[in-house]
Amino acid sequence: MAKDFKFRTCPETGLKVHSQADALIKANAVVAVVFLAIGGLFGLLVALTRWPAVHMLDAELFYLALTAHGADVLVFWIIFFEVAVLYFASAILLNARIVLPKIAWLGFILMLVGALMANVAVLQGESSVMFTSYVPMKAAPHFYLGLILFAVGALLAVGIFFGTILTAKKEKTYEGSLPLVTFGALTAAIIAVYTILSGAIILVPTFLWSLDLIPHIDSLTYKLIWWGFGHSSQQINVATHVSIWYATAALLLGAKPLSEKVSRGAFLLYILFLQLASAHHLLVEPGVSSSWKIFNTSYALYLAVLGSLIHGLSVPGAIEAAQRKRGFNKGVFEWLRKAPWGNPAFSSMFLSLVLFGFLGGISGVTMGNEQINLIIHNTIYVPGHFHATVVAGTTLAFMGITYLVVPLIFQREIVMKGLARWQPYLFGLGAAGISLFMMGAGTIGIARRHWDITFSDAPLTVDVPGTAFMMMGLNGVFAIMATIGGAIYVVVVVASILFGAKRDEAACKANPVVTAGGGEAVASYGAEEEHPNLSGTIVLVTLLFVTFVLYYYVNWKFLSEVWPLS
């Protein structure tokens, strides 16, 4: 390895940290948190407007806030943070240098300029086209240009990730196969390439159309290709937050996967099939066949669901195995009771795992069925589902790993530890409430995007059940709770970076955040050698299956009542 690359050795994990990787991770993570703060505030405004008793914003501002909320949290927060994860999982976990750091910085600048440009376009009020920006609604040209610049920057970052893992192999900075967490990040990077290509295929002509250089964009073609970008971007999240679950379990408890091969096989199922879920959004379009819809959302997608079920067994199983090795062997659940619930990194990870599985996973598979989808298509059930996956699942997992990134990468102590301890519970409960009540309101027919759930200016009266008002009110209450949880996260992270005590070697030894052997567990290939009794995990997984089956068939019952056949 060339001599001019600057490395430090992490005193806790023993991993070599390339200075450029270190700086890039910090920059991407900080900008991500800023966009989370901005997008989260817009989200609160949206929820307070959808709360019928409050109905805060007028229609014009509502659609502006909804567009900004979607772009800032569904794209910018998530992808900036994912780039930080890609650099961590490649350069740091492989003890390698990051390749072409100047290109990586160029990518960062393009992403930042693009995100700012899109935000400016939205705030100017001429681009309230919502996250989906369906044509023929037309935004200002710099809205599309901002998204394109952001995507080009992200593609550069993904290229740097691939270059880094290939160079690490060539320079023999690691032996054998990629560690599982890096393999999960590779999965996310592959999905990102398809996602960005889809975005480019449709957003470049749409940008030209906004400049009147192209006369017409077919709305169905737009919708089809756009969802290859819009939904797949959320599949990058799934692969990334599953990797973070494995990483957190390894760092905090020394947990290794039950079977590295099976977990890698589950990621392979993601690589092959997860992006196909994009077809959910076109299930009522008459222009595409049932064969296309059913293949993409059922037969093929269920193989990706199998991947998630494997991770859903493997992650808690790895935690149970690690805890039982530490002596927490009494009964079925001592390992879980004695888990570090006061550590926000762990509680965020485990809440993310449970909420993603029970709320996001079950609802996603159920609504992906072409027939059941008819009950809830384009209702507020859909945002309910994706708040369970992206907020309770991905965002909570990202928040959790931040409590490790700050001491290990920024080398600062977490400040306000009492607040930090409660933050994941507050945010997790808030996100769970948002998801549940939006799904509940959607099941009884509340529309997805509309500013006024009562349709008060419609020529025909719409009979909205009182339950829907209650559910949208509860959605607002839980949104406030999630916002407070999110605000605490931002304050704790920013204050820790700015004012946290510097963690030198002595501080790391006195107050370690990583368990002994955690660095080796996260950065090496290999599975748990001993397989102790995993009865607790079996009980949890059985509970998930039973819930899944009941919910699935209850929805068939709903469908039979909505659309009687006799």
Contacts with other proteins, residue ranges (CB under 8 A): 162, 165-166, 177-178, 183, 186-187, 189-191, 193-194, 197-198, 201, 218, 220-221, 224-225, 228, 232, 259, 261-262, 264-265, 268, 271-273, 275-276, 278-279, 282, 287-289, 292, 295-296, 300
Question: For residue 157, what are the contacts with CB-CB under 8 A and spacing of at least 6?
Answer: 83, 86, 87, 104, 107, 108, 111
Nearer to other proteins, 59 or 220 (CB): 220
Shortest Cβ distance from residue 272 to other proteins (Å)? 5
DSSP letter for each residue of 501-523: PB--HHHHHHS-SS-TTHHHHHH
Shortest Cβ distance from residue 97 to other proteins (Å)? 17
Contact 157, 129 (CB under 8 A): no
Shortest Cβ distance from residue 300 to other proteins (Å)? 7
Nearer to other proteins, 19 or 173 (CB): 173
**Structural tokens at position 563:** 């659309």
Give the helix, strand, coil percentages of the chain, each rounded to 5.
70, 0, 25
d(CA 468, CA 380): 11
Nearer to other proteins, 126 or 285 (CB): 285
**Structural tokens at position 510:** 């006195």
Shortest Cβ distance from residue 373 to other proteins (Å)? 17
Alpha helices in 381-453 (DSSP H): 381-386, 396-408, 417-443
Shortest Cβ distance from residue 181 to other proteins (Å)? 14
Nearer to other proteins, 285 or 452 (CB): 285
Question: For residue 121, what are the contacts with CB-CB under 8 A and spacing of at least 6?
Answer: 127, 139, 140, 142, 143, 146
Nearer to other proteins, 201 or 419 (CB): 201
d(CA 317, CA 305): 18
Nearer to other proteins, 41 or 193 (CB): 193
> How many angstroms separate the Cα of 440 from the Cα of each of 373, 544, 563?
14, 20, 19
**Structural tokens at position 439:** 């799904």
Nearer to other proteins, 176 or 466 (CB): 176
Q: Is 14 left (phi over 0), alpha (psi -120 to 50) or beta?
A: left
Q: What is the largest CA-CA distance in the chain?
A: 78
Cβ burial, residue 60 (10 Å; 0-12/13-18/19+): exposed
Question: What residue type is 458 in one-letter code?
Answer: A
Shortest Cβ distance from residue 252 to other proteins (Å)? 26
Nearer to other proteins, 177 or 535 (CB): 177
Shortest Cβ distance from residue 12 to other proteins (Å)? 28
Shortest Cβ distance from residue 221 to other proteins (Å)? 5
Cα 506 to its chain centre, rounded Å, is 35
Shortest Cβ distance from residue 359 to other proteins (Å)? 25
Shortest Cβ distance from residue 327 to other proteins (Å)? 30
- Residue 163: count other Cβ atoms within 10 Å of its Cβ: 16
Nearer to other proteins, 232 or 394 (CB): 232
Lookup result for tokens 């059930």: 381
Contact 339, 537 (CB under 8 A): no
Q: Is the peptide bond prior to 11 cis by the omega test (within 30 degrees of 0)?
A: no
Nearer to other proteins, 286 or 466 (CB): 286
